[in-house]
Amino acid sequence: MTMATRLADASLRVETERTGVLQQVWARRADYLYVLPAIVVMLIVIAYPIYYTINLSFFNTPPSLQLRDKNFVGFDNYSLILNSDVFWRVTANTFIWTIASTLIAFVLGLGAALALNRDFAGRSVLRAILIIPWVISAVAASYIWKWIYHSDFGVIGAVLVGLGLADRPPNLIDSVGTVLPSLIVVNVWREFPFAMIMLMAGLQTVPDQLLRAARVDGASAWQRFWHVTFPHLQGVSTVTILLLAVANFNSFIIPWIMTGGGPSNASHIWITHIYELAFGRQRWGVASAYSVLLFLILMTLGYFYVRALSGGERKERGA
């Protein structure tokens, strides 16, 4: 927290008498006017849908989505999910997808951030080029890579055949064994720039004097990284990894456009599976139950996220 807000807090604290919460709320009613529009919008588009999803997960709702005709089924939707093979298949895919994408994107981002951390001609141009995949539409990215992977005219197939590594172009995204890794390559392509930006900003906070001192004491480049730079990046790294993990867990566009979850569910992850259950097969109740489970998982991740962030805040306050 900056000096300014600390001052602001201090002055507010002087204004506030020791009173009950309701009295405080009343006394600060003008403050709420600033937040009120945001609260209203958030209630409509966030709180209401969460409530409604939980509600729908206990019902069997007809495909037409006629809410009058829904009937209460208790936990049936949940037990249906947990007893299906597809659930475990998709869960395994989701974990592979999330963990592999996150780790590879983070490592590539860290490498790029470190390599770009010295001054050289063309550094800012290079950085700008490396960021572009993160900015362009995921839909465009999916088409570009679909074309690159194309089983008849794809450039990867052509290179593999040209180098004599394959007799004919492989069906990278049409076969069960290779589809998930192929999609992870696309996903990492789009995401490592995010890790790079975050970590480059983090590198700015590593004190120069410490690095210089380590150099003077004869520490090697690796030792300087491991003992000085890396510990300073820990806060940013935690936040970056969590944000990447959440984004990957919630991916939709790349798997949906490139394969639609196929072949035979090999690239379905939770999100695409839920979407297909709801809008493809009109199984609103089951899809809602899936959403509730997803919500619980994300709340757990969110707990760590908030803890990582507020840990930083506590340090700032010096408490």
Partner 1 sequence: MTPTTIAVATRRRKPIDVWRWVGRIFLVLILLYTAVPMIWMLLTSIKSGFAALQFPPQWWPDEPTLASYHKLLDPTNSVGEDFLRFFWNSFFVSTATTILAVIVAVPAAYAFSRFDFPGRKFLFFSVLLRNMFPAVIFLVPLFILMRLLGLVNTHGSLILTYLTFGLPLAIWLLKGFYDNIPYQLEQAARIDGATRFQAFLLIVMPLSTPGIIATAIYSFIGAWNEYIFAYTFLSKNDQLTLPVGVQRFFSENTTDFPGLMAASFMMSLPVVVLFLLLQRYFVRALTEGAVKQ
Question: Is the separation of the CB atoms in 60 and 71 below 8 Å?
Answer: yes
Q: Is 286 in the site for partner 1 (CB under 8 A)?
A: no
Instruction: State the number of CA atoms in the 13 A half-sphere of 139 facing the CB.
Output: 0
Shortest distance in whole angstroms from residue 88 CB to partner 1 = 20
Q: Is 236 in the site for partner 1 (CB under 8 A)?
A: yes
Please give the Cα distance from 79 to 104 (Å, whole number): 35
Shortest distance in whole angstroms from residue 176 CB to partner 1 = 22
Please give the Cα distance from 260 to 280 (Å, whole number): 11
Q: Is 180 or 193 the residue whose CB approaches partner 1 more closely? A: 193
Amino acid at 305: Y
Q: Binding residue for partner 1 (CB under 8 A) from 121, 135, 165, 296?
A: 135
Shortest distance in whole angstroms from residue 70 CB to partner 1 = 11
Site for partner 1 in 53-72 (CB under 8 A): 53, 56, 65, 67
Which residue bears the tokens 């209630």? Answer: 43
Please give the Cα distance from 57 to 51 (Å, whole number): 10
Q: Is 86 in the site for partner 1 (CB under 8 A)?
A: no
Q: Is 81 in the site for partner 1 (CB under 8 A)?
A: no
What is the CA angle 22-23-25, rounded to 5? 65
Question: Is the separation of the CB atoms in 270 and 251 below 8 Å?
Answer: no
Q: Binding residue for partner 1 (CB under 8 A) from 179, 183, 258, 278?
A: 278
Amino acid at 155: V
Cα 142 to the center of its chain, rounded Å: 18
Site for partner 1 in 180-219 (CB under 8 A): 189, 192-193, 197-198, 201-202, 204-205, 215-218
Q: Binding residue for partner 1 (CB under 8 A) from 116, 195, 244, 266?
A: 116
**Do the strands 59-60 and 71-72 form a parallel or antiparallel pair, or are they unpaired?**
antiparallel
Q: Is 250 in the site for partner 1 (CB under 8 A)?
A: yes
Shortest distance in whole angstroms from residue 264 CB to partner 1 = 21
**CB within 8 A of 301, min separation 6: which ones?**
242, 245, 246, 249
Stretch that binds partner 1, among 73-81, 85-93, 115-123, 260-268 (CB under 8 A): 115-123
Q: Binding residue for partner 1 (CB under 8 A) from 73, 103, 158, 166?
A: 158
Q: Is 271 in the site for partner 1 (CB under 8 A)?
A: yes
